């Protein structure tokens, strides 16, 4: 009977060192291989040129390296790049590179599909198939970093977990990936340049606070009124705003980090003074920043971008209340790479 080989990148460095000792070799061989797997992103054992031929064969007999493959790369007229990324089992996720004058940001996926059901989101229409492994998340970042260097002459500067999936529903793998992205044994990026964007899972926000993570937190809020939020993000019925707010207060008490809120203003849904007043009340407890994001319709009539006047009303009210606000024009619309549009549509 054929035994399935294990993905070698599921092993920690310590486990890899132990594996070599069990094979009668030296533990430091584990360090060498680990460096090839992460820092040098080797796609095959064959590439590990400072490892003997016999050892490479032995690794081949025991393990596989489940690398992602960029199946299709689309480039937008505004410089945005979208990758369709094929995983070892044939499933596909998407990741995006967003260049601006001062930054190149990778927007990466954490799940195939999504466990949540936001009604305005294209990803929600795919059912959640599985969580991504840490190495699959890491590989998306490496692929985008390479593209950033190639097409924009600069390395990746920021990462947001805002692609397909709810990152806090794949907590362990997302944290493991961030550990490798920030480790000198991986990409060595500063955690301050990483933002995990969640739709708001209170229990996991508390867990992150307890673990004193160093990366930033963004919450896709879209409404600070329970009935409205539940109507557009039905899981809000299980994680109501009161619980979310308490978890965020806890996060702030532990980290003292400013909280970012992602917010789309839709016509007829949350474009009222009452809605913006509720938002001010919700986020005033800690230093906050609100990103007002332009909406990209996903071929239905229900959700439409609100008028410029409504967005201006939000902007003015938030600023008057001392809350930092930015209006984000969407990027990569012509290739369906904008926020909420990722759904493996090629």
Query: Which residue in the set 139, 166, 262, 271 belongs to the binding site for ligand SF4 (CB under 6 A)?
Result: 166
Applying CB under 6 A, among 33, 81, 112, 118 the residue interacting with ligand SF4 is 118
Least distance in angstroms from the C-beta of 341 to ligand SF4: 10
> 114 among the known binding-site residues?
yes
Is 222 flagged in the annotation as binding?
yes
Apex CA 163: angle with CA 280 and CA 276, to 5°? Answer: 15
Active site residue 94: yes
Q: Does 99 bind ligand SF4 (CB under 6 A)?
A: no
Determine, following the binding rule CB under 6 A, whether residue 279 of this chain makes contact with ligand SF4. Answer: no
Q: Among residues 94, 136, 147, 262, which one is catalytic?
A: 94
Binder of ligand SF4 out of 114, 180, 189, 208 (CB under 6 A): 114
166 annotated as belonging to a binding site for a ligand: yes
In the residue annotation, 283 being an active-site residue is answered as: no
Choosing from 30, 165, 202, 216, the residue that interacts with ligand SF4 (CB under 6 A) is 165
What's the closest the beta carbon of residue 340 comes to ligand SF4, in angstroms?
6
Rounded least distance, CB 126 to ligand SF4, Å: 9
Q: How far is the CB of 198 from ligand SF4 (least distance, A)?
A: 8
Contact call for residue 202 and ligand SF4 (CB under 6 A)? no
Tell whether residue 197 is among the known ligand binding residues.
Answer: yes
Question: By CB under 6 A, is residue 143 in contact with ligand SF4?
Answer: no
201 lies in the binding site for ligand SF4 (CB under 6 A): no
Annotated binding site for S-adenosyl-L-methionine: 165-166, 197, 220-222, 296
Active-site positions? 94, 339
Annotated binding site: 114, 118, 121, 165-166, 197, 220-222, 296
Using CB under 6 A, list all residues that contact ligand SF4: 114, 116, 118, 121, 123-124, 164-166, 199, 220
């Amino acid at each position: 009977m054929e035994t399935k080989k294990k993905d070698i990148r599921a092993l920690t460095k310590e486990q890899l060192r132990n594996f070599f000792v069990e094979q009668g070799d030296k533990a430091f061989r584990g360090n060498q291989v680990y460096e090839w797997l992460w820092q040098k992103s080797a796609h095959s054992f064959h590439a590990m040129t400072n490892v003997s031929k016999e050892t490479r064969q032995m690794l081949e007999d025991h393990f596989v390296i489940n690398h992602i493959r960029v199946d299709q790369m689309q480039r937008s007229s505004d410089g945005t790049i979208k990758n369709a990324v094929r995983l070892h089992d044939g499933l596909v996720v998407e990741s995006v590179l967003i260049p601006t004058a001062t930054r190149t940001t990778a927007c990466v996926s954490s799940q195939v599909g999504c466990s949540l059901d936001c009604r305005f989101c294209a990803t929600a229409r795919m059912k959640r198939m599985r969580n991504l492994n840490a190495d699959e998340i890491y590989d998306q970042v490496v692929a985008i970093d390479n593209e950033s260097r190639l097409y924009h002459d600069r390395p990746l500067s920021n990462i947001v977990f805002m692609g397909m999936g709810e990152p806090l529903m794949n907590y362990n793998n997302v944290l493991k990936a961030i550990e490798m992205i920030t480790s000198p044994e991986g990409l060595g990026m500063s955690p301050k340049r990483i933002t995990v964007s969640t739709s708001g899972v209170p229990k996991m926000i508390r867990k992150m606070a307890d673990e004193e993570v160093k990366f930033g937190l963004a919450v896709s809020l879209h409404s600070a009124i329970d009935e409205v939020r539940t109507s557009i993000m039905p899981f809000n019925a299980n994680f109501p705003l009161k619980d979310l707010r308490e978890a965020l207060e806890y996060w702030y008490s532990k980290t003292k980090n400013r909280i970012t809120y992602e917010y789309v203003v839709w016509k007829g849904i949350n474009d009222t003074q009452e809605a913006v007043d509720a938002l001010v009340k919700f986020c005033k407890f800690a230093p906050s920043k609100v990103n007002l994001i332009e909406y990209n319709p996903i071929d239905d009539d229900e959700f439409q971008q609100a008028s410029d006047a409504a967005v201006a009303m939000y902007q003015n009210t938030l600023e008057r209340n001392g809350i930092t606000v930015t209006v984000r024009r969407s990027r990569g619309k012509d290739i369906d790479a904008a926020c909420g549009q990722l759904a493996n549509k090629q």
